[in-house]
């Protein structure tokens, strides 16, 4: 939530800040702002709305200042407005500060500062920070930042500049990501790596409690105790092209089409021999007989992948698995102990609730495994073991390729931990089928576009839709419904098909769209009975099934999507494709801002 950028160097800061913010807009996009020091004057420009509004505003001015900060906001405290947009300033108007995160004790600090005579001009929690820095500032900005941050509770990455010293930026990280980019005679700051890639691949990822002081000639990273740190510079090998749309109208569609490749990439090493190679989980395998319980904890789409992970791991290992939404996990006092394995799943690796769940598990001395996309993210660094899902940069708020690779990672894990027997199949046969999946995803993409457009034409006119399935298909239905809600704003409910008759069937009316998943052989006839109950009440059913069941299913549904044949446990890997495309085209027909749906952000770093 919220993206921050900073620049100090020989070039004009404004275009660099704007370019960086464009790459971070996925983190929040309700308002944006920049501050630049221009001839020892602090110039601030802010604008409610998407970055484009600020960009247009700035195109009328020609700033030359070569030090500045930028911010793109996802509102937490105070509605989106020019006043609440960052950067924020102190009473004297000399300091400008940007912030990502939440200051939990801001009200108390604000009351005290007001008593001391400070006046506030926004409704944000952030503004207290710049006033605190002002209060402690007596010539040394780093010292003032250190004193101010010592009083803050919550999560925050901040950066601050002082118009009287146009040669310095000071930034601090606590529980919100912050990365320093090192260029040739210039330095950058950003909440995420893509904002730095056009300029440098040499980065330092700051840890909690660390402060960085950027000067024109050098930088200093200062540890929590005030000690100077000598941190390793990391080289980022990401492909910058990933951050472009490559001719697709939206990142989401591009990312859907990248799925065969990212899946191949993830499967390549583990499947190169006759047995699955996953050295990342060797330590877990060594202690597997001691594991009494597995917990999977995540949010949103990642949580949905965990539901499928549970089914696979229980089948494979015989160990009971519980799945929790990360925001609920630690508040229900889960019975975790040394013999628990806690798997946290996250695309961004920065989701606040998931990170808190991981830390809770570590406090309870459980073994932890992160299934994460973003290398170097906090969860990736803090989990005991790490399985990177290698989906590459995912920019669209709606997660697609990361979800698919989370499912793939769970399949690999289950096959590895199951030691050759999962769902009654021999490992060899399953490995063969798994190797085929990327090509089958490709085939499904080709097959689906036309029929999905037709189905989306139908669904786009409805305010409500249902997604039903049983077993693995129910977990997939939950993800299908979330995708549709998130980007098309159509209310969608996912139900275990057998549960409909216990109340929800009352909502089935003439013509209402119902997406029914029928990919599991053992549940096929049960699902067909449930579909008959729906159709008898007027529901219009879109079925998704494997080729081999198509002749049986065709007459039971109004519209049929066929995915290629595979083992039932792998069917969600293919079944997700029509669901993703269905939500995409429905949202497109409704003219929704697909990559940046209202009220949401890609990386949810607040609880």
- Please give the positions annotated as active site: 2, 602
Instruction: Categorise residue 583: left if φ over 0, alpha if ψ from -120 to 50, beta otherwise.
Output: alpha
* 604 is a contact residue toward ligand AGP (CB under 6 A): yes
Strands 179-182 and 202-205, bridge-based pairing: antiparallel
Strands 187-190 and 3-8, bridge-based pairing: antiparallel
Q: Which residue has the tokens 């995915």?
A: 563
What is the distance between the alpha carbons of residues 398 and 597, in angstroms, rounded to a whole number?
A: 8
Q: Where do the DSSP E strands lie in 261-314?
A: 293-298
* 354 is a contact residue toward ligand AGP (CB under 6 A): yes
Among 89, 317, 351, 545, binds ligand AGP (CB under 6 A): 351
Residues in region 269-308 near ligand AGP by CB under 6 A:
299-302
Residues in region 478-537 near ligand AGP by CB under 6 A:
486
Nearest distance from residue 205's CB to ligand AGP, in Å? 17
Give the number of other CB atoms < 10 A from CB of residue 108: 12
Q: Which stretch binds ligand AGP (CB under 6 A): 27-35, 126-134, 179-187, 397-405?
A: 397-405
* 378 is a contact residue toward ligand AGP (CB under 6 A): no
Q: Whose Cβ is closer to ligand AGP: residue 300's or residue 469's?
A: 300
Burial of 590 (C-beta count, 10 Å sphere; 0-12/13-18/19+): middle
Nearest distance from residue 343's CB to ligand AGP, in Å? 13
Closest CA to 84 of 92, 72, 95: 72
Q: Whose Cβ is closer to ligand AGP: residue 317's or residue 347's?
A: 347
Q: Whose Cβ is closer to ligand AGP: residue 189's or residue 297's?
A: 297
Closest CB to ligand AGP: residue number: 300
What is the distance between the alpha carbons of residues 510 and 490, in angstroms, rounded to a whole number?
A: 17
Diameter of the chain measured on Cα atoms: 79
Nearest distance from residue 537's CB to ligand AGP, in Å? 31
Nearest distance from residue 394's CB to ligand AGP, in Å? 9
Nearest distance from residue 258's CB to ligand AGP, in Å? 15
Among 81, 162, 176, 348, binds ligand AGP (CB under 6 A): 348
Nearest distance from residue 392's CB to ligand AGP, in Å? 14
Q: Whose Cβ is closer to ligand AGP: residue 434's or residue 604's?
A: 604
**Binding-site size, ligand AGP (CB under 6 A):** 15
Q: Which stretch binds ligand AGP (CB under 6 A): 176-184, 195-203, 383-391, 395-403?
A: 395-403
Q: Where are the alpha helices (DSSP H) in 426-497?
A: 427-459, 472-488
Q: Which stretch binds ligand AGP (CB under 6 A): 81-89, 126-134, 393-401, 461-469?
A: 393-401
* 397 is a contact residue toward ligand AGP (CB under 6 A): yes
Q: Whose Cβ is closer to ligand AGP: residue 22's or residue 304's?
A: 304
Closest CA to 511 of 489, 494, 534: 534
**Contact between residue 517 and residue 477 where contact means Cβ atoms under 8 Å apart:** yes
The sign one gets for the Cα dihedral 438, 486, 578, 529 is: positive
**Contact between residue 401 and residue 255 where contact means Cβ atoms under 8 Å apart:** yes
What is the rounded radius of gyration, in angstroms, for the C-alpha atoms of the chain? 25
Nearest distance from residue 255's CB to ligand AGP, in Å? 11
* 408 is a contact residue toward ligand AGP (CB under 6 A): no
Q: Which residue has the tokens 């199949």?
A: 425
Q: Which stretch binds ligand AGP (CB under 6 A): 29-37, 165-173, 391-399, 531-539?
A: 391-399
* 596 is a contact residue toward ligand AGP (CB under 6 A): no
Q: Rounding to the nearest 10 degrees, give the CA dihedral for residues 136, 138, 139, 140.
A: -40
Among 149, 168, 347, 444, binds ligand AGP (CB under 6 A): 347
Q: Whose Cβ is closer to ligand AGP: residue 398's or residue 531's?
A: 398
Q: Whose Cβ is closer to ligand AGP: residue 211's or residue 601's?
A: 601
- Asked whether the bond before 180 is cis by omega within 30 degrees of 0, the reply is no
Q: Which stretch binds ligand AGP (CB under 6 A): 17-25, 217-225, 346-354, 519-527?
A: 346-354
Q: Whose Cβ is closer to ligand AGP: residue 149's or residue 301's?
A: 301
Closest CA to 32 of 52, 15, 12: 52
**Contact between residue 111 and residue 123 where contact means Cβ atoms under 8 Å apart:** no
What is the distance between the alpha carbons of residues 129 and 135, in angstroms, rounded to a whole number?
A: 10
* 24 is a contact residue toward ligand AGP (CB under 6 A): no
Q: Whose Cβ is closer to ligand AGP: residue 280's or residue 350's?
A: 350
* 346 is a contact residue toward ligand AGP (CB under 6 A): yes
* 191 is a contact residue toward ligand AGP (CB under 6 A): no
Task: Using alpha carbons only, give the angle 398, 404, 409 rounded to the nearest 5 degrees.
Answer: 130
Q: Whose Cβ is closer to ligand AGP: residue 195's or residue 594's?
A: 594
* 583 is a contact residue toward ligand AGP (CB under 6 A): no
Nearest distance from residue 302's CB to ligand AGP, in Å? 4
Structure tokens at 45: 């420009």
Structure tokens at 111: 């009351």
* 31 is a contact residue toward ligand AGP (CB under 6 A): no
Cβ-count burial 120-143 (b if 16+ within 10 Å, e if not):
eebebbbbbbbbbbbbbbeeebbe
**Contact between residue 233 and residue 379 where contact means Cβ atoms under 8 Å apart:** no
Judged by the rule CB under 6 A, the positions of this chain that interact with ligand AGP are 299-302, 346-348, 351, 354, 397-399, 486, 603-604
């Amino acid at each position: 939530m919220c993206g921050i950028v900073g620049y100090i160097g020989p070039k004009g800061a404004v275009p660099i800040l704007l370019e960086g913010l464009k790459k971070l807009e996925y983190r929040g996009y309700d308002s944006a702002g920049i501050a630049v020091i221009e001839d020892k004057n602090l110039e601030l420009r802010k604008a409610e709305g998407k970055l484009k509004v600020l960009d247009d505003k700035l195109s009328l001015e020609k700033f030359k200042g070569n030090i500045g900060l930028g911010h793109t906001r996802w509102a937490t405290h105070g509605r989106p407005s020019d006043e609440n947009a960052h950067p924020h300033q102190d009473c004297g108007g000399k300091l400008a500060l940007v912030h990502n995160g939440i200051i939990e004790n801001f009200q108390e600090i604000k009351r005290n500062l007001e008593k001391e005579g400070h006046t506030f001009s926004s409704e944000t929690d952030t503004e207290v920070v710049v006033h605190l820095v002002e209060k402690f500032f007596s010539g040394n900005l780093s010292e003032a930042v250190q004193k101010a941050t010592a009083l803050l509770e919550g999560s925050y990455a901040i950066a601050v500049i002082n118009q009287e010293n146009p040669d310095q930026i000071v930034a601090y990280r606590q529980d919100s990501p912050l990365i320093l980019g090192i260029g040739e005679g210039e330095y950058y700051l950003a909440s995420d790596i893509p904002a730095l890639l056009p300029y440098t691949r040499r980065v330092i990822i700051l840890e909690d409690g660390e402060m960085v002081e950027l000067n024109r000639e050098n930088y200093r990273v200062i540890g929590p105790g005030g000690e100077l740190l000598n941190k390793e510079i990391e080289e980022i090998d990401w492909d910058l092209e990933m951050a472009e749309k490559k001719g697709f109208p939206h990142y989401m569609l591009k990312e859907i089409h990248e799925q065969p490749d990212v899946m191949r990439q993830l499967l390549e090493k583990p499947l190169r021999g006759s047995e699955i190679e996953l050295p990342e989980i060797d330590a877990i395998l060594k202690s597997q007989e001691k594991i009494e319980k597995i917990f999977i904890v995540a949010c949103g789409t990642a949580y949905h992948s965990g539901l499928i992970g549970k089914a696979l791991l229980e089948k494979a290992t015989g160990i009971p698995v519980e799945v929790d939404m990360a925001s609920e996990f630690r508040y229900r006092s889960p019975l975790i102990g040394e013999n628990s394995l806690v798997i946290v799943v996250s695309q961004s690796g920065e989701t606040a609730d998931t990170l808190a769940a991981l830390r809770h598990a570590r406090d309870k001395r459980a073994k932890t495994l992160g299934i994460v996309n973003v290398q170097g993210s906090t969860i990736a660094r803090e989990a005991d073991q790490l399985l990177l899902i290698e989906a590459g940069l995912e920019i669209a708020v709606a997660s697609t390729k990361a979800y698919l690779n989370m499912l793939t990672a769970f399949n690999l894990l289950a096959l590895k931990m199951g030691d050759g027997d999962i769902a009654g199949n021999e490992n060899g046969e399953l490995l063969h089928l798994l190797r085929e999946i990327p090509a089958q995803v490709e085939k499904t993409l080709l097959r689906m576009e036309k029929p999905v457009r037709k189905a989306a034409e139908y669904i786009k006119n409805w305010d409500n839709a249902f997604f039903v399935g049983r077993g693995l298909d129910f977990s997939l239905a939950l993800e299908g419904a979330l995708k549709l809600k998130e980007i098309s704003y159509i209310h969608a409910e996912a139900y275990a098909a057998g549960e409909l008759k216990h109340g929800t069937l009352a909502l089935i009316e003439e013509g209402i769209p119902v997406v029914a998943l029928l990919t599991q052989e053992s549940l096929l006839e049960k699902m067909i009975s449930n579909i008959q109950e729906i159709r008898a009440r007027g529901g219009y059913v879109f079925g998704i099934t494997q080729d081999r069941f198509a002749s049986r299913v065709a007459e039971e549904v109004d519209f049929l999507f066929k995915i290629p044949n595979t083992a039932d446990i792998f069917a969600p890997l293919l079944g997700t494709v029509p669901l993703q495309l269905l939500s995409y085209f429905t949202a497109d027909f409704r003219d929704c801002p697909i990559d940046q749906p209202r009220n949401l952000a890609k990386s949810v770093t607040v609880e």
